[in-house]
A and B are shown apart, each in its own frame.
Chain A
């Protein structure tokens, strides 16, 4: 990938219900596959941003371009229409976003965990910022103890 030819455009959607129409328009323009579908957690403003990167294989003129769509979701109940019907390559990545962030994709054909064990991770989403890894918690406490001059 040569750095100069990468032209990046960004599109921010406030209302998740608008996503399918935006996706449809992009698809008609020639953006035919999803490169990556991930999310960013913002606990302070109670938001989750769904980040979708799309590009093209078929149209030579937009092939070097990557188009980014960001969708603002409510953190308490993140729901968004699934893009599988428009871009089939989104299927597995939507399942990953589902298990890692708890984003529910409506009308997804097969919304289950893809990588994580469904028994161990039912109801917990490890990539959310409020998820506590036990080992890390201990390390943080140790660091604080050292800062406060150790425990006497």
Chain B
């Protein structure tokens, strides 16, 4: 039997048990540091940019769009995902450290939108677990801000972050 593996697993188990009482804190902390990665695939990206601009300033909710995948914990899928892009999306998602969350923005990311009958479209819900949907084509910037709030509320009530961090 692999002794190192057994030791590692038991240490992890002990750590998890020790961390259990702090799980509300993990949720609370993650709630105010949702950092979505820049993953602009379509026209919805403009509205995404506007929602982080000075007028709505979604950054005040503790959410900062960031460039490096390994330093982020959320993807806001901005619009259409083609078959080629779906592979990149999957790689980006795998690179992020847990806890991580996916928000699907726009009609395209929900059900294909105006490209629903295209030969080259992938519905993100088929490849990733999606937490929040933002309907619209494109959604208003306010809707993006609202989605971030919704994600925060879900994290608090459903304990999304601590579940992923301690169990996943």
Contact = CB atoms under 8 A, between A and B. Distances in A.
Interface of A: 115-117, 120, 126, 131, 133, 135-136, 139
Contacts of A131: 119
Interface SS of chain B: loop
Interface SS of chain A: loop
Nearest to A139: B117
A116 B120 contact: yes
Nearest to B121: A135
B41 to A, nearest CB: 14
A131 B116 CA distance: 16
B119 A133 contact: yes
Contact of A117 (B87, B112, B116, B117): B87
A133 B87 contact: no
B83 A135 contact: no
B118 A133 contact: yes
A131 B118 CA distance: 11
Contacts of B118: 133
A126 B87 contact: no
A126 B83 CA distance: 13
A89 B16 CA distance: 61
Most buried by B among A115, A135, A136, A139: A135
A136 B117 contact: yes
Contact of A133 (B82, B83, B117): B117
Nearest to B112: A135
